[in-house]
Each structure stands twice: as structure tokens, then as C-alpha cells.
Structure 1
Amino acid sequence: MHPDSASARPYGALAPGEMIGLYLVKLVAFFTRFGATPDERQLGELNLWLTRAETLVDGLIRATTAVYLTQSGYEELARAMRTPLGITPQSPPDFQSAPQTLDQLQERLATCLATYERAEALARKLAMIIALALYSSALERAQVRPRPTSTISVSVHTDALVTGASAPHLWPPPI
């Protein structure tokens, strides 16, 4: 952590999480500036910015999870976590959706802020879940079989027990 605020440092010195935090702060400022009665165009812009913020927060969680997976030795999975899902260079994400009401947008913003605040913990838990899933699937593939136990069959001569005669001496013992 740096002792000075994130907005006082040049943008090049900020970590990705801090840049996303600044974007969210600016988004909250836009929400308060537009007031209680934004017009349709402003709602559309807020919706677009909020969708981008949600995408950034999801990307932050995936990138942080990739760091944890790399530290755990899962390089291939870390590379997969860094690749956005469903987004290829040929198909950019679709941000154009119908504008929502201001209350719905504020609810989405509150959810986005809460997710951003828990991003580190969510990434850590996601990395643990992935590692545990890999471990359990590796155990299933190993097909752990119980060690075969040798069974010794002992035959008891019931007629000797009934008549009172001694059982025949068996040597060598059956194996």
C-alpha cells in the first residue's frame, strides 16, 4: 500500500486494482451529478459505464485468481483465467442494452462496489476451489484400489466336533 492517495499519483504508477477503484469512484460521482431525474441519454451512458465497470471488476477477480494459481504451480490454468470468456478479437463485447431505471442502475452499482471490495477474497476462494477440484479429479483418475487381502479358508470338521473325536492335524497349514 502507498501512503498517498491513488488520485495523487500518476496513472502509470497505479496498480490495476487501484485504477478500477478510481473508475468506480468516478462512476459514483457521475451518479450523484446526474441527480434524481436523468434523461434517457444519460441513463444509457450510465448503463454503458456500469457494464464496463462490472467487466473490469470481473477481470480483476480473474487476474488475481490467475496470480494465485501461478503461485500454486498451475500455469496452464492461470493462462486460462487470464483469457476472457467468450470474447475474441473478432467479436467485441456487446455493451448496448436497453437503459434501465435509475434505481436498477444504483442497485447494480452497489453490487459492483461490494464485489470490488471483496475481489481479493473472492479470487483467493476461487483459486482454492479450482485447486481442490483438480486434486479430487486427479484422485478419481488414479483409480485408487484397496489392497487385496489374502483369505484363508479354514474348514472345520463338524463330525469330529459332534462325536468328540479330535480334529485331524493339518500340516502344513492351508494357505
Structure 2
Amino acid sequence: MQGRGRALLRFAYVLCGDAHLAEDIVQEVLARMHRRWDKVTAMHHPEAYVRAAIVRQFLSWRRRRASREAVLAEVPEPVGPDEPQHRVLARAHMWQLLAGLPRSQRAVLVLRFYCDLPDDEIATLLGCGESTVRSQASRALARMRTILGEAGVSGDG
């Protein structure tokens, strides 16, 4: 586990989209685990255990902040796929779409596409059934497609 702090922080950031909140979540989880660190590091997959705790902390985070997550109404003007700005704008737009999803749906998508986990492992991490994982992913992707359609963005370019 030593030296994995940056990876855990990146993981939390992908979940919440806020660097400060990601730091708070990781610090909270590691502080709670510090009391039983010997048991955690003796586990077969300690990083998976810590990641699961980060997901649970993210899903139950209660702190309200003055600056709330918001999906912007305006979408930047489309650029051609050959232009260097295309990837940057696409990535920024993806963050906006993820930020607009409920936390549980966002967690499912991050675990599926960022962590490349299968549905059974996601279900174990989130403490739900595989069918719930599949329905959450389906709803999240459908919502993202709807928003893209309303913005007049096609998925083919």
C-alpha cells in the first residue's frame, strides 16, 4: 500500500470531480483505517479494500459546500476531430455529464469504465446486486445520451 496515495487520490477525484473533496474523502478513509492498519495491509487485496471504503465514503458524504456541482447549460462550440482542442473539450464535457449524475450512478460508471471492473466486482464494492449495477449503468448512460441529444451533440464524432 505504501506509495499508492496518489493513485487513491486520483480514484477519489474521478468519483467526485473535485480535488479538495477527493482529498477530504481519502484522508477520512485513511484516518479511520489507521487504527487497524496492520489488519488492512495483511489482507489479500488491501488496495481494493481501501478503494471500496473510498466509494462508500463518497456515496455517503454529507458535507454541503457553498459551491455545488452544476451541469452547465452551454456546450462549447464543436471543433473538428482533427483539432487538438477536440479531446480537451470532449473530456471537459464528459466531466460535466458525470457531475450531473446521481452519486450512485457516477460510482458505477467510474468503477466500470475507469477501473475496468466487471459487474460482479462492482456489486460487491457497492453492496448491491449485479442487476442493480447494470440498471444504474444503463440509466446513467441513457441520461448522458439524453443530455447530449438535447445539446445537439452526436456520438459519432
Q: Smaller-chain TM-score range?
A: under 0.3
Rg larger in structure: 1
**Larger relative contact order, structure 1 or 2 (CA cutoff 8 Å, min sep 6):** 1
State TM-score, norm by structure 1.
0.23
TM-score, length basis structure 2: 0.25
